[in-house]
Structure 1
Amino acid sequence: MPSTDAELKKAGLKVTSPRIKILDILKNPNHQHVSAEEVYRILLDQQDEVGLATVYRVLNQFDDAGIVTRHHFEGGRSVFELSEKEHHDHLVCLTCGRVIEFEDNVIERRQLEVAEANNIKLTNHSLYLYGECKKPDTCEYNSADASHHRIEV
């Protein structure tokens, strides 16, 4: 994996302390699908003096440069994840906001079939499935650290 500095330079971005810190947060497996506010809170916890406006600006720059993917899950907030990941879809709990990544070859094939049947060459897609955690003890309602999982079917 290239260094943070190299990634920023490759994306045409100047290497700055806020960009390095924010990219390092996004690389942490415990900080997937995070909002700008969550990144800001993590920076505060680390005693890093980066303002919320700077966090928003850097995440927008990362999105424009293709470093991150912005998702607009239900609930009206944007969350970000690194773009370098393999294609995957998302399950989202409407109660706690937990995001579960999954891959399912049957779903992927079916989407291609639907596109082909409608004479569409599929170039990109995203699938978000919304629901609620089935077990109250697994739902992370009001948790600031909603967990991140990846499953393959």
Structure 2
Amino acid sequence: MENEQRARSFEAALRRAGVRITRQRAALLRILAAADDHPDATQLHQRAMAAGAGVSLATVYRTLSALEAQGVIMKLEFEGAAARFEPADQQHHDHMIDVETGEVMEFVNDRIERLQAEIAREMGYDIVRHRLELYVRKRR
């Protein structure tokens, strides 16, 4: 989904939740929609401030909470780190988290997907949804 379209989708979700769309909140939504990483609330606040949005950190948290409740963003809680966020409209992917730098990398691996489905089937289940997080360290 294109950034502007995603920002409009976020705005519509907030309106459905009864949240007023201020100039600051609209700027925050554009910043979130354009993020190509997995920002936390503080990072989004810093980006909004750098863009001149003048949004409070409390507004960032309230906005993220409302967007998550509407199902348009996903809250990612990785070990030992602040919650991060990503749009919920993305194709399924898993995450690798570098334990030294905190960098979050997305990946898709068909072998892993097939193996998970096979294991669930062998145990008499179908996978409804899943999340895979690999905590990694660069080889030296």
TM-score, normalised with respect to structure 1: 0.78
Q: 1:19 aligns with which of 25, 30, 33?
A: 25
Q: Does 1:70 align with 2:75?
A: yes
Matched AA of 1:4 = A
Where does residue 104 of structure 2 map in the other structure?
A: 99
State which of 83, 88, 106 in structure 1 corresponds to 2:88: 83
CA distance in 1, matches of 2:116, 2:30: 34
Relative CO higher for 1 or 2, CA cutoff 8 Å, sep ≥ 6? Answer: 1
- The runs of 4+ residues in structure 1 deviating greater than 6 Å are none
1:114 to 109, 115, 119: 119
Equivalent position of 1:56 in the other structure: 61
More helix by share: 2
Identity %: 29
SS at match of 1:130: strand
Q: 1:52 to 1:108 in 2, by over 3 A?
A: same
| CA deviations over 1:87-107 (Å, ceiling 9, x no partner) | 000111011111110011110
- Any idea what the Cα deviations from partners look like across 1:22-73, whole Å, max 9, x if unmatched? 221122244x200000001111111221100110010011111111111001
**AA in 2 matched with 1:54:** T
Whether the 8 Å contact between 1:92 and 1:131 is mirrored in structure 2 is: yes
Which blocks of at least 5 consecutive residues in structure 1 are unaligned?
136-153
- Unaligned 5+ residue runs, structure 2? none
Judged with a 3 Å threshold, the aligned counterparts in structure 2 of structure 1 residues 3 and 122 are, in CA distance, closer, same or farther, namely: closer
